[in-house]
């Protein structure tokens, strides 16, 4: 069995990475592809950095355990199964499940900081940046955080202005030029998706 081919997919918060990823995964059979997400590597609540108003800031590289993230990606690449508790976005009513990452010919590494940390970046063999205009990302973020995570509008707007937008400018956007493929995702991404699928089919 040859070593897994590793794809990194990044972009700003609410750029549409999840929809792109789900569409990509649906094009492959079970066992052909493994998705490992940065979101399940947040540090514990008490270790989260806080902003000047004492609000925890989850949109910063310091919020995540990237050494562990890089280690688990390396294990998967080598053919070793990885188990990790699901991150529940601080929802006290949701019981985290144990996620099992099973080695596959293709490993998708997803998250807003996967280009930022060298130990993760150096593992990526294909780098994809999902891009969207600022107003589009804000509309998506408001909808997602209210419907899926139960945040009120004031909280969403505060975090976007104080955390999300500055983080994009400092830690995400500067690495756009490192991507092998930039996918504009303001309305649709079908052509780019077809190109990625075709290329990855050659790695199985």
> Residue 93: its pLDDT value, please?
72
> Residue 149: its pLDDT value, please?
74
What stretches of 12-119 adopt beta strand conformation (E)? 33-37, 82-85, 98-101, 106-110
Domain encompassing residue 50: 5-201
> Residue 92: its pLDDT value, please?
65
Alpha helical stretches, state H, the chain: 17-25, 66-77, 118-121, 134-147, 153-159, 165-167, 190-201
Q: Output the tens digit of pLDDT for each of the chain's 204 residues.
A: 678 999 999 999 999 999 999 999 999 999 999 999 999 999 988 899 999 999 999 999 999 999 999 999 999 999 999 999 888 766 667 777 899 999 999 999 999 999 999 999 999 999 999 999 999 998 998 888 887 777 889 988 999 999 999 999 999 999 999 999 999 999 889 899 999 999 999 999
* Residue in the block written with tokens 């995540």: 64
Question: Is 130 within 8 Å of 175 (Cβ atoms)?
Answer: no
Instruction: Give the pair of three-digit tokens for residue 170.
Output: 């400092």
- Domain harbouring 69, CATH code: 3.40.50.300
Please report how many Cα atoms fall inside a 13 Å half-sphere around the Cα of residue 112, on the Cβ side: 24
What's the rounded Cα separation, in Å, for the pair 145 and 167? 17
- Those residues whose C-beta lies under 8 Å from the C-beta of residue 68, and which sit 6 or more positions away, are 41
Residue 14 CA: distances (Å) to CA of 58, 84, 139, 185: 14, 24, 8, 10
| Count of structural domains within the chain | 1
């Amino acid at each position: 069995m040859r070593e897994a081919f590793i794809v990194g997919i990044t972009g700003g918060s609410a750029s549409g990475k999840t929809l792109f990823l789900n569409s990509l995964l649906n094009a492959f059979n079970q066992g052909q592809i493994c998705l490992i997400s940065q979101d399940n590597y947040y540090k514990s609540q008490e270790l989260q950095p806080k902003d000047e108003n004492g609000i925890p800031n989850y949109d910063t590289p310091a919020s995540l355990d990237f050494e562990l993230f890089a280690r688990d990606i390396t294990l998967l690449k080598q053919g070793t199964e990885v188990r990790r508790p699901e991150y529940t976005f601080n929802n006290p009513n949701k019981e985290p499940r144990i996620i099992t990452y099973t080695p596959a010919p293709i490993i998708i590494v997803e998250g807003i900081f996967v280009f930022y940390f060298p130990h993760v970046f150096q593992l990526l063999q294909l780098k994809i940046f999902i891009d969207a205009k600022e107003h589009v990302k804000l509309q998506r973020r408001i909808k997602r955080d209210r419907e899926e995570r139960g945040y009120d509008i004031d909280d969403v707007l505060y975090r976007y202005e104080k955390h999300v937008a500055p983080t994009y400018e400092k830690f995400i956007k500067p690495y756009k030029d490192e991507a092998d493929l930039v996918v504009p995702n303001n309305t649709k991404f079908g052509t780019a998706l077809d190109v990625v699928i075709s290329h990855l089919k050659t790695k199985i």
